[in-house]
Amino acid sequence: MGEVELKDHERIDDLQIKGYRLIQSRKSFCFGMDAVLLSDYARIKKGAGVMDLCTGTGIVPILLKGKYETGQILGLEYQEELVDMAGRSVRLNDLSDSIRIRQGDVCRVMEDYPRDSFDYVTVNPPYMTGDHGLTNPDRGKAVARHEILCTLEDVVKAAKWLLKPAGHFVMVHRPFRLAEIMYCLKEHKLEPKRMRLVYPRVDREPNMVLIDAVKGGKQRITVDPPLIVYHDDGSYTDEIFEIYGKGADLEEDR
């Protein structure tokens, strides 16, 4: 593994896959279960090129590299401090030949990147609009949670531009925006093909939705079986352990 310098507020977390590690900071938004479930749901084909929008600390590109034999992965992030942190995590794991982190604006991908250039686009976007919940006073955390720098439609437009015909757009989001998500995807010719709802417990409402849409795909969606996170006694279900990998430290979720 490579050697990198840490800042005073940073730590290194073990991702429990291929020995990969991630630099995180107490000052910024740390990754949670949604990023892990997104990387598992993506099902990247061998050799495929991937763009991860709103990449943050680079967690999704590194997990994708741990799970699949991908081609080149590019992570796009607006906040310069996160770009720096993600880049150092890539170097820490000796992945500079296969993962690139770039500073950039989701709203400008049509100016900055060629059309039809990726097989997959993944995103764990900000979930909340200005009307949803309290905005964190810390700008970095607010940007991660609220649509301050880009909206759902901005992300969908970017994915449509970046994807090759029949390319896949894989996203994790919140079910309370599902009607808006489906309308936006279809409006921009990204046809929802797979969907899975994630429930904290079997008797609770879902709190995450995983969606795989295909650029120019035909109309037909498969609704996968629900994913339950916890048993009634508060322990994790077998499928969650399987997704994370045996022996994973699930307490790393934030």
How many structural domains compose the chain? 1
Closest by CA position to 76, among listed 109, 40, 27: 109
The one-letter amino acid at 143: V
Closest by CA position to 141, among listed 149, 86, 250, 9: 149
Q: How many CB atoms lie within 10 A of CB 28?
A: 19
Dig out the tokens for 92 from the structure.
Answer: 């820490």
The residue with tokens 């808006």 is 180
The residue with tokens 């609770």 is 204
Q: What is the pLDDT of residue 85?
A: 95
Q: Does residue 56 belong to any structural domain of this protein?
A: yes
Q: Does residue 4 belong to any structural domain of this protein?
A: no
Q: Does residue 19 belong to any structural domain of this protein?
A: yes
Q: Does residue 175 belong to any structural domain of this protein?
A: yes
Q: Structural domain of residue 188, as residue ranges?
A: 10-252
Q: What is the pLDDT of residue 149?
A: 67
Q: Does residue 85 belong to any structural domain of this protein?
A: yes
CATH of the domain at 65: 3.40.50.150
Q: Does residue 5 belong to any structural domain of this protein?
A: no
**Backbone torsions φ then ψ of 151, nearest 5 degrees:** -100, 175
Q: Does residue 1 belong to any structural domain of this protein?
A: no
Q: What is the pLDDT along the chain (254 residues), one digit of tens a residue?
A: 677 889 888 999 999 899 999 999 987 778 899 999 999 999 999 999 999 999 999 999 999 999 999 999 999 999 999 999 999 999 999 999 999 999 999 999 999 999 999 999 999 998 656 554 444 444 444 444 544 568 999 999 999 999 999 999 999 999 999 999 999 999 999 999 999 999 999 999 999 999 999 999 999 999 999 999 999 999 999 999 999 874 445 544 43
Q: What is the pLDDT of residue 20?
A: 96
Q: What is the pLDDT of residue 130?
A: 55
Q: What is the pLDDT of residue 27?
A: 78
Cα distance between the two ends of the chain: 25
Q: What is the pLDDT of residue 132?
A: 47
CA distance 230 to 239: 10
Q: Does residue 3 belong to any structural domain of this protein?
A: no
Q: What is the pLDDT of residue 166?
A: 98
